[in-house]
Amino acid sequence: MFFLNLSLPEFLAVLGSLSSVVVALYLLDRLRKHHTVPTLRFFAAIEKPPVLKHRRKLQQPWSLLLQLISLLLLLLAIAQLRLGSPARYSRDHVLILDVSPWMAARLGPNRLIDQARLAARNYVNALPLADRVMVLRAGVLATPALLFESDRKKIQQAINQTQPGAASLNLQGALDFAQQAQRVQAQRPGEIVFIGAARIPSNEAEAGRLDPPSNFRFIPIAGPTEHVGLRKISVHRAMDDPDTWEVFLAAKNYGAVPRSVPAVVNFGGAPVATHRFDLKPGVEESYSFRFKTRAAGWLEARLPPQDSFRQDSRAVLELPPRGIVPVTVYSSEPDLLRPVFNAIPGIQPNFLPPGKYDPKVRTGIVVLDNFAPPSLPATDSIWLNPPADKSPIPVRNIEASVKLNQWLADHPLGAGLRARDIEIPSAEIFRPAPGDITVARAEAGPVIVARPGTPKMVVLGFHPIRSGMKYQLTTPLLFANIVRWMAPDAFRSWELTAGAAGTVDVELEPETDPNNVRVQTEDGASLPFTIEGKTLRFFTADPGIVRVLAGDRELVYSLTLPQPGDTVWQPSHVKVGLPGRAPAGPASRDIWQWLAIAGAIGLFADWILYGRIDQRIRAAKGAPPSEFLRKAS
Amino acid sequence: MKPQPLIDSALLEKLERLAIRWQKSFPGLVGGHNISHFAGSGQEFLDHRQFHHGDDLRAVNWRAYLRLEKLFLKMFQVEPRIPVRILLDCSNSMATGAVSKFDYARKLAASLCYVGLVRLDTIGIQPFGEHLGDSFLCGGGRHRFIPAVNFIENLKPAGRTSYLQIAREFISKYPQRGLLIVISDFLDDAGCERPLQYLSDFGHELILVQVWANEDREPDWEGQLDLTDAETGATLQIGFDDAARRNYIDAFDAYARDIQKVGLRNGGRYVGISTATSIEEAVFGPLVRSGGLE
């Protein structure tokens, strides 16, 4: 027999206090009552008034005793008096299973997750039958697989379905979740049990942030001690040559002895680099190299599969083909423009006479030099000194000896253009429509106007090669800006990285506009992210490919390279290992319902026998009216 | 908040069909509605008598003189106008009880006043406690009711009751006999039987209306009581149980019986009313049954 809700001293203290209050109220109720009456003559007429000398003498001792007993019964019900032993009482436990990638490592014939599932089943079997268990899978997120449940079959099923994940272990998050679940959902909290290898990042272990609760039990699963794995592989185009890729490769020795491991990098099945990592215990080393290709293909980095955890021995990245923008130049003087377009990387110019104009061209960029086609091109176009009456941007007038002196520097079309006082013998002055972009302006008005939309269009009111711009650096820069504005995808820089799922931090370029940043999954769905300063952060618990589009930069993350924790957590001052088997037999039994009913019956009986009901009945009956009063009324 | 009127208009409409009745024959001027055995200038013939010097010649029966050559005087039955006086107890004992007896008595007095005014009676309202208070006289129709109600509403309970003193003062203040309606709880430690007898002996017709609260007759208290007399301030400590309650009720009923005897043996009437009874029930029930109203 024991109390569930109160300790014995607490119970006695509450009982004593309440009993004192009841006795005090009882005596107060029986104190002399004061009344003002119209006359005392009839009270004086009562024979031998029973004036009591002892005012506090108990008038109805059975009423007081009944009240006190009822109070005792109700208090026992509140304290939840139980028959049986406290050891047999059912509790709610949280079983945390480690589902970090490391649990897929093998030790002997079995994986670590198999050992963890076996330990979990043993733990559940050691619990009393009435105990309830919540199964919580701890990866980078804590995911409940089963809420508090006493059905052993359901618990076993939830344990057996547990598999290793792709993201590293967030142990503190799992412990917080378990404590919260016990606070909110558990009727009587039991233990919080962690079963797993408990490999966590070294920074988390060193910071001492892990704080196991007092009811924590740790069942460690021993794993292999020696392991070397890839930590990171990233690829991006070289700044000096867009056809060259720069590859960065990092590997780490997680074991306790030095290791010498060869790494092989293949592209399209053919080796492009080999390197031998000589790794001391706990040390991470990197290796960088370049290789040149225009073709798309799979880049694979591989370590020899010689240890028990093979998931991080191989990483694969898909390299995209280099984009080429076709530019069709319709000009009767192609030699004038040829040097300009040949100098722009990433485009493939094709020079044709105006007579071969094809309005059906729908890809690339069309350049119209000194002529206007009968129908507007269906793709993006650059117009050079079009006829005044056929210009797509209305010409206000034609000015001679125009001085170009103002550029739209804060727009991609005018980026880097600072030349002033450029002499132009004759220029068309445009009348731009609302929404048009004035790229360059003379004193007389706009001379270069861009029209956004689909297709895009840029109209120059003069021929740059025949004007004072011929020998200016501004001319190739202007055309490069126009081509980049019209075909940004072709000039986007690529960076591919293989890493682990979880939280990913991306360093953005200083000039990146946060409003133009997007994070997408492999199927194009947007992924939530935050930008703090110049660091973008996003989270994904599932392995896969995530694209970060930041202006003209695209970063591709292949989050398929699992990362085991650096260190094995070894808590102190906690219960370790499986508990002893619970005593057989039924759990302790609740009797608070019967106690509450008995207490209520006692109070009701007191009310009937001695309480207000008695007084009301007496008052309702009243004294019979005398014969005289009947006549008088 | 608008104060509650002493009597609502619905009850007043019902009261208009009632009239105050008395049994004695009082001398007085014509104009009343109760026949008196005193002769006077009425309409109904009563008797003949010998003519004496100084009698009104208009009442001589000249037909009898021509036949008998003797002067006979015709006498007529008179319906005299009789003063109706309502003695209203304003002592502190009337202010006790869950339902104030004083409020109840005021409503009852206002109801009787309205009945009298409708029948063109002259109504005098005389509050009393240890002494007679300032009185209010009204008559001549229902339009005089509002001042009477204002007077009744402004009364406040105070002091103790001394029936002997007020009997003396009343006899000296009102020499004309008439109908006397006493509305009181009749709780005077010195007793009120003898003073009421004096008033009756003086020639007044008494209608005694005893008002009591339920707890006056049957206190529902239990246990040790510390009692204070509302009028004298005297205290008494007793233990009160069922047996004591029975004795108390017997003593109260015996006292009420004595009051009733005083009222009835002198040709008057007695009505005992509990404050649990509504005013309408009290008027159309016990008061009408007693013959005080019809």
Q: Is it true that A92-225 and A325-483 share their CATH fold?
A: yes
Q: Can you tell me the ipTM of this complex?
A: 0.81
Confidence of residue B40 (pLDDT cuts 50, 70, 90): low
At residue A58, does pLDDT exceed 70?
A: no
At residue A417, does pLDDT exceed 80?
A: yes
Name the residue among A50, A619, A631 with its Cβ closest to that of B244.
A50
At residue A276, does pLDDT exceed 50?
A: yes
Q: What is the mean pLDDT of chain A?
A: 82
8 Å CB contact of A619 and B220: yes
H/E stretch holding A78 reads: helix A61-78
Q: In chain A, pLDDT over 90 holds for what percent of residues?
A: 6
Strands A297-302 and A259-267: antiparallel
8 Å CB contact of B237 and A51: yes
H/E stretch holding A342 reads: helix A334-342
8 Å CB contact of A38 and B241: no
Mean pLDDT score, A312-338: 84
DSSP string over B54-115: TS-GGGB-HHHHHHHSS-EEEEEE--B--EEEEEEE-SGGGG-TTTTHHHHHHHHHHHHHHH
pLDDT of residue A84: 66
At residue A53, does pLDDT exceed 60?
A: no
Neighbours of B223 (CB within 10 A): 15
- Chain segment B175-204, per-residue pLDDT in tens: 888 889 999 999 888 888 999 999 999 888
Q: What is the CATH number of domain A92-225?
A: 3.40.50.410
Mean pLDDT score, A534-555: 82
| Residue (of A324, A321, A326) closest to A245 by Cα position | A321
Mean pLDDT score, A515-527: 84
The nearest CA of chain A is from the CA of B167 a distance in Å of 21
Cβ proximity of A378 and A360 under 8 Å? yes
> Which chain A residues are Cβ-neighbours of B249 within 8 angstroms?
623, 626
Please give the Cα distance from B139 to B118 (Å, whole number).
9
At residue A631, does pLDDT exceed 90?
A: no
- Chain segment A302-323, per-residue pLDDT in tens: 887 667 777 788 888 888 877 7
Calculate the CA A423 to chain-centre distance. Answer: 58
Residue of B229, B273, B275, B284 best to disrupt the A interface, most CBs of A under 10 A: B229
| Residue (of A509, A493, A407) closest to A235 by Cα position | A493
The nearest CA of chain B is from the CA of A63 a distance in Å of 15
Q: What is the mean pLDDT of chain B?
A: 86
| Residue (of B167, B256, B277, B164) closest to B210 by Cα position | B256
pLDDT of residue A565: 79
Dig out the tokens for A623 from the structure: 């004294």
Name the residue among A37, A622, A628 with its Cβ closest to that of B230.
A37
Pick the CATH number of A228-320+492-559 from 2.60.40.10, 3.30.365.10, 1.20.1280.260, 3.40.50.1000: 2.60.40.10
Give pTM, 2 decimals: 0.49
8 Å CB contact of B260 and A32: no
Please give the Cα distance from A396 to A485 (Å, whole number).
26
Pick the CATH number of A325-483 from 2.40.110.10, 1.10.3720.10, 3.40.50.1100, 3.40.50.880: 3.40.50.880
pLDDT of residue A473: 78
At residue A131, does pLDDT exceed 60?
A: yes
8 Å CB contact of A39 and B231: yes
User: In terms of CA atoms, which chain B residue is nearest residue A52?
Assistant: B239
pLDDT of residue A88: 57
H/E stretch holding B217 reads: helix B214-217
Confidence of residue B27 (pLDDT cuts 50, 70, 90): low
3-state secondary structure of A357: coil
Query: Lowest-confidence range among A330-339, A587-596, B135-144?
Result: A587-596
Name residues whose C-beta falls within 8 Å of residue A201's C-beta, 6 or more positions apart in sequence.
Answer: A168, A565, A566, A567
pLDDT of residue A56: 46
At residue A555, does pLDDT exceed 90?
A: no
Mean pLDDT score, A53-78: 75
DSSP string over A517-565: EEEEETTS-B--EEEETTEEEEEESS-EEEEEEETTEEEEEEE------
Domains and CATH numbers, chain B: 9-25+81-290 (3.40.50.410), 39-77 (no CATH)
| Residue (of A469, A527, A474) closest to A501 by Cα position | A527
> Which chain B residues are Cβ-neighbours of A623 within 8 angstroms?
217-218, 245-246, 249
Please give the Cα distance from B269 to B283 (Å, whole number).
14
Mean pLDDT score, A460-475: 81
> Mean pLDDT: which of A5-9, A11-15, A478-482, B166-170 is highest?
B166-170
- Chain segment B75-130, per-residue pLDDT in tens: 877 667 788 999 999 999 999 877 789 999 999 999 999 998 888 888 999 999 99
Domain residue limits, chain A = 2-84+592-631, 92-225, 228-320+492-559, 325-483
Calculate the CA A507 to chain-centre distance. Answer: 19
Query: Lowest-confidence range among A47-51, A153-157, B70-74, B226-230?
Result: A47-51
